[in-house]
Structure 1
Amino acid sequence: MEENNPTSLPENAYRELKPGEEYTPLMPAASAPREVTPYSVTMGVIMAVVFSAAAAFLGLKVGQVFEAAIPIAIIAVGMGNVLGKKNMLGQNVIIQSIGASSGVIVAGAIFTLPALYILGLDAAFWQVFLSSLFGGLLGIVLLIPFRKYFVKEMHGKYPFPEATATTEVLVSGEKGGSQAKLLAAAGLIGGLYDFVVGTFGLWTESVSTRICSWGAMAAEKFKVVFSVNTSAAVLGLGYIIGLKYALIITAGSALVWFIIVPVVGSLAEALDPAVMASLLGVTRDDLLADPQRLLSAENLFQFIGKPLGIGGIAMAGIIGIFKQSRIIRQAVGLAVTELKGSKIQPVAVGRTDRDLPMKRILTILVATLLSVFVFFHVGLLDGWVQSLTAIAVVFVISFLFTTVAANAIAIVGTNPVSGMTLMTLILSSLILVSVGLNGTTGMTAALIIGGVVCTALSMAGGFITDLKIGYWLGTTPRK
């Protein structure tokens, strides 16, 4: 049964709730909207196919995967209007959820698996396919127990920039009129803006002080560079996340570019060339042969500033894991209770708060881990010790950093999956070497293991966006 839904979010959708206040979504728990239908699933799969190809191309070309949820939501709304469909909110959420999985799976693959071909390693298609498949499954089942914490308990405390933008697109499809016109106008202006920059080059997307003589001098002598990205996507992100988080991001950039990079640059000559070369990931001879390029401000940021940021994200994630230990204990306790077949009658929950049963989640998790173990043991590694070690690495890192990925998406809308993948590759390589894995087999194993973890973290980050959109609009979590 379809119901006529309100066409605007409640006023408390984006703010913290007062004591005793409840959030009522656009489609309340008492309603019965159409969600999973042949139309929504078919459209979602088509969007996934199309945007997977687009995301892979762009990601391999520029090293960055665009977020597909927003354009897919716009297309879903537009197609519904063209076909004259009514009350499409629930189905449109499913369409964007299925379609947007394309970008996150692609992101998980392109940061690791292309290295197999760059290094000339022997990798079969089925190995690439299974690493993405199992990583995606792990990302979903490991995040589900944390849904209530991120989307409900932290309501109004996290900005969820991408989820906010996608939700507004979907709501505008129900509103029509001035809201839809405003959204269309904003999208048109942003598209034309980027088109003019990218096609005609009327101005550069990234403006740096290097364009001035004094700026070039400051960059060479003092390693100080100030740059601003003027793309419509970045400007729009600033509007969405708000002043507080925009200032936090700006403060982090200022710390690295105006303090850390200049300090390291000033100490470069005093340090032993071998030490400096190791920090930059090059040989001593390479550094002595081309010091101007390797000691440039941009290169110091890439190899010293950015890893510090990754380490900060990792530490924040570890701290977050300790802070969220109560949520982890609750999830584990619920799982144990269900597995024991407790006779206690479960508390009735509304439609908008129904997750998949914990017993089913654990069944899928165990089946996935067993499948990953067989995949590693039969098609990748030699020996039980190496296979058991590999599956332990995958599970522990995926479990711990799932919340890190979700937390990053909730705050800034960007998943630091590439940085966490580098950490995974380093940790997994060290551990696998300790159990006797080396050579080309070890490199292949490390990259494919990294691909599984990378895809899991990417999927978790994308999935939390879907769940938050569903929470705001009132879709059924288990669907």
Structure 2
Amino acid sequence: MAPREQKDPQEKPEEQQHTEAQWFREVYQPGAVQLTVRSIVTGMFLGGIMCLSNLYVFLKTGWSLGVTVTACVLAFAMYRVLAALRITKREFSALENNAMGSVASAAGFMTGGGNMAAIPALLLLTGIRPDSIPLMVWFAVIAAMGVFVAIPLKRQLVNIDKLPFPTGTATAETLKSLHHHGQSSNKARYLIRAGAIGAVIAFLRDAKMRWLPFNLPAHFGLPFKLGGVAAEKWTLAFDGSLILFGAGALMSFKTGWSMLLGAIMNYAVLGPAMYARGAIESVVYKNIVQFTLWPAAALLVSSNLLSFAFQWQSVARSFSSVFALFRKRKNEEDDPLADVECPTWWFPAGFLVLAPIVVFLMMSLFQVPLWAAIVALPLTFVVGIVSSRVTGETDITPSKAMGPMTQLIFGAILPGNVVANVMTANVTAGVGLHSADLLTDLKSGYLLGANPRKQLFAQLFGVVAGAVVVVPAYNLLVPSAEVLGSTQFPAPTVLVWAGVSRALSLGIGGLHPAARTAIGIAFVLGIAITLLERWAPARLKPYIPSPSGIGMAMVVPGSNSIAMFIGASIAEFMRRRHPRVAEQTVVPISSGFIAGESLMGIAIAILIATGVLSK
């Protein structure tokens, strides 16, 4: 979705107030029921469930998926059922559902923004696993800091510049269709049924129980050899996971076919060639990815940083907007939204409370020097500003660029300290993600006439729920570093973060010469593809692969990329040939597959941990 025409950040305050006063008169709904006990409880429950699902999916694919629309559809359907059963009498309103969505999104995105990249990367690099309670506080404080960073940005980016924030706009439209037209029953039904199918498939595949007559195979190997080794050994197979199919259906077709291309390049060309040269010792996934990780990281870092550099105008507008906000308003006593918007002073107050906690945790949990922890704090605000505007304009939060950028900075100022390198990037990327997430929610609230203060409080409830859920789930799914980078949990983003940190802190001189050559080629390839994406003729752009798709395909099993390509292809076919059917089915069915299988996977892990099931 193309960004809307931007308004001048230097617009006179009187003109800004007129625009906001018009919204206050015509859109805002004073006295409407919004942040209620049931919206908080429902949001924490659904957000917690989706946090579990996102954690499982992240370890499988490297992606964190949006949760807000799914949570809103489920909450609407749930309260419709409760009303039909006369368990609840008062209608679950659109603004109440919107507040619930703010709680759910803050909880569901606890896996994003570097959280579930940094902590596992730290485990891989150092074997450090912080205790559960301090780690919960760590996640919650970083996310809460992102929430407070959004406060001074909201009026400029949402009210005045009117950035599109496409996901926020889509959420508002979904809530309007649900609550004003009742168009939820089919989507909710598809989602629940797909979830049940995903759960059954996962159970039949992964639950090893005596009374089960069979288990579904995890893979179906392709019937050919590469370099004298079966294709299945090179991870080229059809995967039996509906999570991968669903994730592919939710991504763009360009990313899907780029992942297939990356898998072919990696496992059918590069891998066999490096095996023949002795750079890969044996055809086992972990050995393959220990080599291919390096060119993958180089390609991802070069392409993402260059893409981010091309957004320099967004960066400039970000700081211009903030400077405009901190200039004193004229006639502040006449501010039409003084009792509705979050006061600007909440940001420095929240920052002053949370920043010392972050510094203390960086020092006590991760032994980051005091001066380095303090240096990271202003970076968090900078990253929050930039991430928020880029998300508003493009709907893409640039965590994949901002994390490595922080790693580069601390690799230069604190060489050799891999812990500081990883955890400072966790802070900056986490703050950026949660700032952008709240502003996305505030966009939907702005379109619906919601109270932004109540949405901020809703996000803080979600932050607590997500932090409490994600840590024990992570400890359960990742009992040791050996799980990471396996076919069960490829954890591609974790491998990239760990690889970048190791390269910056320890150097790449000890790598196989072929790996160093591959890094150089991949770095240039990432730049070349990004330049082509920007400057190639419009008719050729659909045929230029996604560098992120290729890079991620190089650190997940080939079977993952094949499954995601199939999902993306079917979704694209439906969107082109049957757009109305696709609008009703693609997102809910895909989300249902992902939620059902991931939650069953976590349930099976719990049963194994308690001894009910065998491994």
TM-score, reference length from structure 1: 0.66
Q: Of 164, 183, 188, which aligns to 1:184?
A: 188
- Select which of 70, 82, 90 maps to 1:85: 90
Among all aligned residue pairs of Structure 1 and Structure 2, give the percentage whose two residues are the same amino acid.
16
| Partner in structure 2 of residue 472 of structure 1 | 447
Retained in 1: the 8 A contact 2:47–2:105?
yes
In the alignment, structure 1 residue 361 sits paired with structure 2 residue 372: no
Alignment of 1:327 with 2:302, yes or no, is no
Alignment of 1:237 onto 2:250:
yes
Deviation at 1:256, TM superposition (A): 5.4
| Shift of residue 101, structure 1, vs aligned partner | 1.3
Do the aligned partners of residues 317 and 153 (structure 1) sit closer, same or farther apart at CA in structure 2, a change above 3 Å counting? farther
| Equivalent position to 1:102, from 107, 110, 132 | 107
- Evaluate the alpha carbon distance shift between residue 157 and residue 146 of structure 1 in structure 2; reply closer, same or farther with a 3 A threshold: same
The CA RMSD over aligned residues, in Å, is 5.0
Q: Which amino acid in the other structure matches residue 27 of structure 2?
A: A
Contact 2:146 2:433 (C-alpha < 8 Å) held by counterparts:
yes
Superposition deviation, residue 475 in structure 1: 1.5
Q: Please name the residue that 2:430 is paired with.
A: 455
1:314 aligns with 2:305: yes
Alignment of 1:68-467 (within 5 A): 68-81=67-80, 82=82, 83-86=88-91, 88-107=93-112, 108-117=114-123, 119-121=126-128, 123-125=130-132, 127-147=134-154, 151=158, 159-160=166-167, 163=168, 166-175=171-180, 177=182, 179-188=183-192, 190-191=194-195, 194=198, 198=202, 211=222, 213=224, 233-234=246-247, 237=250, 246=252, 249=255, 287=279, 289-290=281-282, 302-305=293-296, 307-335=298-326, 337-338=327-328, 344-345=331-332, 348-349=335-336, 355-376=341-362, 381=367, 386-396=369-379, 399-400=382-383, 403-404=386-387, 407=390, 411=394, 417=399, 420-425=402-407, 427-433=409-415, 442-467=417-442
Tell me if structure 1 keeps the 8 A contact 2:384–2:433: no
Please list the CA deviations of residues 105-141 of structure 1 after superposition, one character each: whole Å capped at 9, or x if unmatched. 2434322224455533363445423421331123223
Return the alpha-carbon distance in structure 2 between the equivalents of residues 183 and 236 of structure 1: 16
SS in 2 for 1:478: helix
| Mapped contact 2:142–2:427 kept (Cα < 8 A) | yes
Structure 2 CA distance for partners of 1:183 and 1:122, relative to 1, 3 Å:
closer
Q: Residue 152 of structure 2 contacts residue 325 of structure 2 at CA under 8 Å; is this kept in 1? A: no
Looking at structure 1, the residues matched to 304 and 391 of structure 2 have their Cα atoms a distance apart, in angstroms, of 9
Check whether the contact 2:106–2:434 (CA below 8 A) recurs between aligned residues.
yes
8 Å CA contact retained: 2:148, 2:347: yes
Asked if 2 retains the 8 angstrom alpha-carbon contact of 1:256 and 1:301, the reply is no
Specify the SS of the correspondent of 2:438: helix
Q: Which letter does structure 2 place at the counterpart of 1:211?
A: L
CA distance in 2, matches of 1:226, 1:151: 46
* Structure 1 letter corresponding to 2:146: G
**Structure 1 residues 56-65 or 36-45, which shifts more?**
56-65
Change (3 A) 1:56 1:43: same
1:391 and 1:419 mapped to 2: Cα distance? Answer: 22
CA shift in 2, pair 1:144/1:324, >3 Å: farther
SS of the aligned residue for 1:131 comes to helix
Going from structure 1 to structure 2, the CA distance change for 1:188 and 1:402 (only over 3 Å counts) comes to same
DSSP-derived class of the 2:150 partner? helix
In 1: Cα distance, 2:191 partner to 2:452 partner: 29
Taking a change above 3 Å as real, the CA distance of residues 289 and 75 of structure 1, as seen in their structure-2 partners, is closer
> CA distance change for structure 1 residues 144 and 183 in 2, over 3 Å: closer, same or farther?
same
Gaps of 5+ in 2: 8-18, 83-87, 206-214, 455-615
- C-alpha deviations, 1:435-463, integer Å up to 9, x for none? xxx6xxx4444444343234323323432
Change over 3 Å in CA distance of 1:19–1:391 after alignment to 2: closer
Matched to 2:188, the amino acid is A
Instruction: Confirm or deny that 1:29 pairs with 2:20.
Output: no
- The 3-state SS of whatever aligns with 2:345 is helix
CA distance, structure 1, for counterparts of residue 320 and residue 216 of structure 2: 53
How far residue 328 of structure 1 moved from its aligned partner, in angstroms, is 1.6
What is the rounded CA distance, in whole Å, between the counterparts of 1:403 and 1:186 in structure 2? 37
CA contact (8 A) 1:35 1:475 kept: yes
Cα gap change, 1:264/1:409 in structure 2, threshold over 3 Å: closer, same or farther? farther
**Is the Cα–Cα contact under 8 Å of residues 80 and 88 in structure 1 kept in the other structure?**
no
- Cα shift readout 1:220-272 (whole Å, capped 9, x = no counterpart): 8xx9x99999856446535xxxxxxx4664686588568899997799699xx
User: How many angstroms apart in 1 are the aligned matches of 2:350 and 2:287?
Assistant: 49
Q: How many correspondences in the alignment?
A: 420
Residues 302/374 of structure 1: CA separation in 2 closer, same or farther (3 Å cut)? closer
Q: CA deviation at 1:174?
A: 1.1
Does structure 1 conserve the Cα–Cα contact (< 8 Å) formed by 2:77 and 2:188? no
CA–CA distance in 1 between the matches of 2:420 and 2:357?
16
Q: Is the 2:46–2:104 contact (alpha carbons within 8 Å) kept by the matching residues of 1?
A: yes
Maintained 8 Å contact 1:265/1:295: no
**Matched AA of 1:399:** V
